[in-house]
Amino acid sequence: MAATSLPGTGLLKGLGVTIKHLFREPSTQMYPHERPDLAPRTRGVIALMDENCTVCMLCSRECPDWCIYIESHKETVPPAKEGGRARTRNVLDRFAIDFSLCMYCGICVEVCPFDALWWSPEFEYAEYSIDGLLHEMGRLREWMDTVPPPPQLDEGAELPAEVADAIGKVEQERELAAAKEAEAQQAAEAPAEGGGEKAAAGAAPKQAEIHVEAGQIDQETYDALIAEGKSERMARAKAKAAWVKKEKARLRAEQEAERGGAGGGDAAEQPAAAAGDAGDGDAADTGEAADAGAAPAKRRLSDVEVEGDGEIDQETYDALIAEGKSERIARSKAKAAWVKKKKQEQLDQEEGG
């Protein structure tokens, strides 16, 4: 026979639960004043590494919501060797995901055989209009900056040989740069005799060698990105990088002015170059912007065809690995850097010829 409970026991039990929770920390998070503590692999938004996409269409076909739109065209690539066969290659024209339809199942990320799709934990991209949730290729590419690096290896595990090699090389280069800097400093401190001043002016450190403690943000960049509709987290990260760049350029210009006061032309040119670096790194690196300004009719990098077979720019790869980027990201960026270099070489050759 079932035991009958005393009258009022249920009420007391209920009150007990209420009292227990009355003195506990509330579990409510006061978003947006408090940022939620998300797991690193949170499914926030899908990022696209377009250089990895081969337009195989697997993601689009597997997507249960049919919310991935891909457009491409075929290009004929000349044979790698003389007498070989010309090949065709798919070139991605459009890649878009409609996040108003996406159900965040992650099938597309899993099926992509070329690691072109990644999860980013970024989730603040709500829009007033549903059209804004259709993210085109450029926006999907920007999300790549917010993809966290892969989890650390087990404690004590050996690094992959390739990565260890790259880190070793970068450390060597850093030591060399430090030694050069020390030499330059010694030369600058030594009493100027004859051409001494000129030699010191020539040994000015490069922008990459100047150390700046990160932490502040460039308010102008931050405001511009927020006005463009970027998320606070992304705007803050980019504004931090912009501040470091500007600070380095400023320090370099100061050092140049100190060293090259007596040097004349050279010293006057270098701060200007430093300011250019701070403005737009990519364009300054390739020299594309300068070329375009000087001769608008010239062929541009995008007009040059370069055929690669998976080659990478080792320097870029090593630098990215040393920065802590994942091997996959480093490899794909190093591939792009190799292509850029080859194109630039080809352009230079054409101009020289």
Binding-site ranges for ligand SF4 (CB under 6 A): 53-59, 63-65, 67-68, 70, 97, 102-108, 111-112, 114, 116-117
Complex with ligand SF4: residue 116 or 253, whichever CB lies closer: 116
Complex with ligand SF4: residue 66 or 185, whichever CB lies closer: 66
Residues in the chain: 353
Please name the residue ranges forming H helices in the chain. 9-22, 58-62, 107-111, 137-142, 161-189, 196-202, 219-227, 232-259, 265-279, 281-286, 288-294, 314-322, 327-352
Instruction: Give the Cα separation of 157 and 339 in Å (integer).
Output: 34
Min separation Cβ 205 and ligand SF4, Å: 42
Complex with ligand SF4: residue 53 or 166, whichever CB lies closer: 53
Collect all residues with Cβ–Cβ distance below 8 Å to 290 and sequence separation of at least 6. Answer: 284
Instruction: Give the Cα separation of 204 and 207 in Å (integer).
Output: 9
Min separation Cβ 78 and ligand SF4, Å: 24
Min separation Cβ 60 and ligand SF4, Å: 6
User: Residue 212's closest CA among 241, 172, 170?
Assistant: 241
User: Residue 159's closest CA among 171, 147, 148, 175?
Assistant: 171
Min separation Cβ 231 and ligand SF4, Å: 19
Complex with ligand SF4: residue 133 or 251, whichever CB lies closer: 133
Min separation Cβ 96 and ligand SF4, Å: 10
Min separation Cβ 190 and ligand SF4, Å: 58
Instruction: Give the Cα separation of 73 and 305 in Å (integer).
Output: 16
